[in-house]
Amino acid sequence: MNKKILSLGLASILSAGCFAQIKPLVANKDAIRFSKAINPIDGRKHLSILASDEYEGRETGTKGAWMAADYIRNYFKSIGLKGPVNGDYFQKIDLANYSVSESMFTINGQPKQAYKDFVILSNSVGLNGFTFSANDVVFVGYGLTKDGYNDFDGINVEGKVVMMFAAGDPTAKAGDKTDRRQAMMARAKKMSYLAQGKAKAVILIDPTLDNITEARKASYTAGSNVMKTAENIERMKKQNPFTSISISTATANEILKTANTSVDAVQKKIAETMKPASQTLSVAISASAMKKETPVRCENVLGFLEGTDPVLKKEVLVLTGHYDHIGITPDVEGPDKINNGADDDGSGTTGVLLMAKAFSDAKKAGKGPKRSILFMTVVGEEKGLWGSEWYSEHPVFPVENTIADLNTDMIGRVGEEYLGKPDSANYIYSVGSKMLSSDLATLQDRVNATYTKMKLDFKYDDPNDTERIYYRSDHYNFAKLGIPIIFYYDGMLQQDYHRPGDEVSKINFELLAKRAHLTYYIGWELANQAKRPVVDMDGKGNPKK
């Protein structure tokens, strides 16, 4: 057994119950006194609002996320936290939406109707748009290159407009199923082949466009949001996406009739002969599209509690949770289309609000933390850790003064591995505490042994973790800067994950509060102890050389 994995397992056992082997702290009466603000009743009040249908799943850049941001800001303000961004509570993120503002597609000079006959998506249009025309189209069936079957046999695609079916494989065995991920990978492979072959453009025959609903049309016209970091801006400038146009079956038939055939006819021919039906079609095609940039409201919400020690208050502890979720999925089965995100991550956001109240109460009573604390709920985690990435590149407080980040992302439910087990109401996955600081790892064990006595499960510290949990939440953007972190997570990867079933009614508020208590007590110690946690590990849990 790998020695590192064995040590993690032993630590988990110790945390589960053998607290006598861990030197506990002296329980701080003030910490216990003010921890009462972290309770299931107030937790339910916050989460019932944040994860309500009214907030529409809090998708980044939408009304629901703005409502959540306003709620959090107003709450921070009401309990006396300060706005640290030039007096504001919002750290604005430079987010822009890129959509197709104008698109045109003609067959033999006859214009076709966008979002009925054809669709051009924004990700196939460069910043400067595109325009092209051609007097013939190369039809290549399914665009497959496999052993014994090659739709491109004898065809040079350079400079050509190529037409093919968006999906399908006539050589597949009966009963074989292709999931969405496999289909996307297959399409990407075809597009890469055409791009490398220097084709001018590709026309994809897509039957899903035959009856476009209003909801589907809205998803096509919505475009895509891009966070305008220096890296992304440079990438967009260099990016020259391969031009693709999706067309309906009827539109494809209009093109194919120039060769006296149709979609059904060529599909039947290929299926019966198991040979390609590739051919050049004499038909005039033209197309163009322009890309439009529109600013999108997007912000992290920050509340600041200044420390009481004249020297230590320059150092900052950060407590994070992401308030965004994935919004509404109109095509999901069933009447409920709203992904409420009660656990992911309404629960962690609620934990941050409860902890903010506890520390604020302590300061009002003259027992405030020596170091400063930044309570930060970030946006865009579901899009790729956007909010924390933005903060890491535009820190409000100097990175060198940031002593640690404690991140709560999904702390309200019981994950699959603990369902029905004795520890189901008394565990939490602790992720990353050992990666950068042995001090922080030791402090966690001692705090837990003193106050909460939870089972700490270190499963996801395993470097061979196939889920790569350590890299999948906002703490990671702090860890990349060399800031010690702990990420608390309940392990719910199957039940209702990113589905409308992630509802407030399924939250265990007693457990949510207990997990927030653990985070709070560690925060209390970090904010008040004499020295900040030393960074003596290499970011992977190995001692620095």
- pLDDT for 184: 82
CATH code: domain of residue 429: 3.40.630.10
φ/ψ (deg, to 5) at 518:
-60, -45
Q: Strands 110-111 and 201-205, how do they pair? A: unpaired
- 224 and 242 assigned to the same domain: yes
Residue-number span of the structural domain to which 303 is assigned: 3-13+27-92+299-528
| Burial state string for 231-268 with b = 16 or more CB within 10 A and e = fewer than 16 | eeeeebeeeebebbbbbbbebbbbbbeebebbbeebbe
Q: Return d(Cα 327, Cα 334) in angstroms, integer.
A: 16
- 152 and 83 assigned to the same domain: no
Over residues 331-360, mean pLDDT: 96
What is the number of alpha carbons within 13 Å of residue 522 lying toward its C-beta?
A: 35
Q: Are 227 and 94 in contact (CB under 8 A)?
A: yes
Position 11 pLDDT exceeds 80: no
297's CB contacts (< 8 A; 6+ apart) are 61, 66, 95
- 118 and 79 assigned to the same domain: no
- 289 and 421 assigned to the same domain: no
- pLDDT for 545: 83
pTM, whole model, 2 decimals? 0.86
For residue range 422-437, what is the model confidence (pLDDT) as tens digits?
999 999 999 999 999 9
- 314 and 452 assigned to the same domain: yes
Position 7 pLDDT exceeds 60: no
- 285 and 307 assigned to the same domain: no
For residue range 475-532, what is the model confidence (pLDDT) as tens digits?
999 999 999 999 999 999 988 999 999 999 999 999 999 999 999 999 999 999 999 9
419's CB contacts (< 8 A; 6+ apart) are none
Residue 21 lies in a domain: no
Task: For the chain, state the CA radius of gyration.
Answer: 28
φ/ψ (deg, to 5) at 402:
-90, 115
- 115 and 175 assigned to the same domain: yes
CATH code: domain of residue 194: 3.50.30
Residue 127 lies in a domain: yes
Q: Are 50 and 349 in contact (CB under 8 A)?
A: yes
Please measure the distance between the N-terminal and C-terminal CA atoms of the chain and give it in whole angstroms.
24
Kindly list the distances between the CA atom of residue 488 and the CA atoms of 44, 102, 247, 309, 430, in Å, as whole numbers in the listed order. 19, 46, 46, 28, 5
Which of 295, 321, 355 is the last residue before a domain boundary? 295
- Mean pLDDT for the chain overall: 93
What is the number of alpha carbons within 13 Å of residue 189 lying toward its C-beta?
A: 12
For residue range 75-107, what is the model confidence (pLDDT) as tens digits?
999 999 999 999 999 999 999 999 999 999 999
- 258 and 320 assigned to the same domain: no
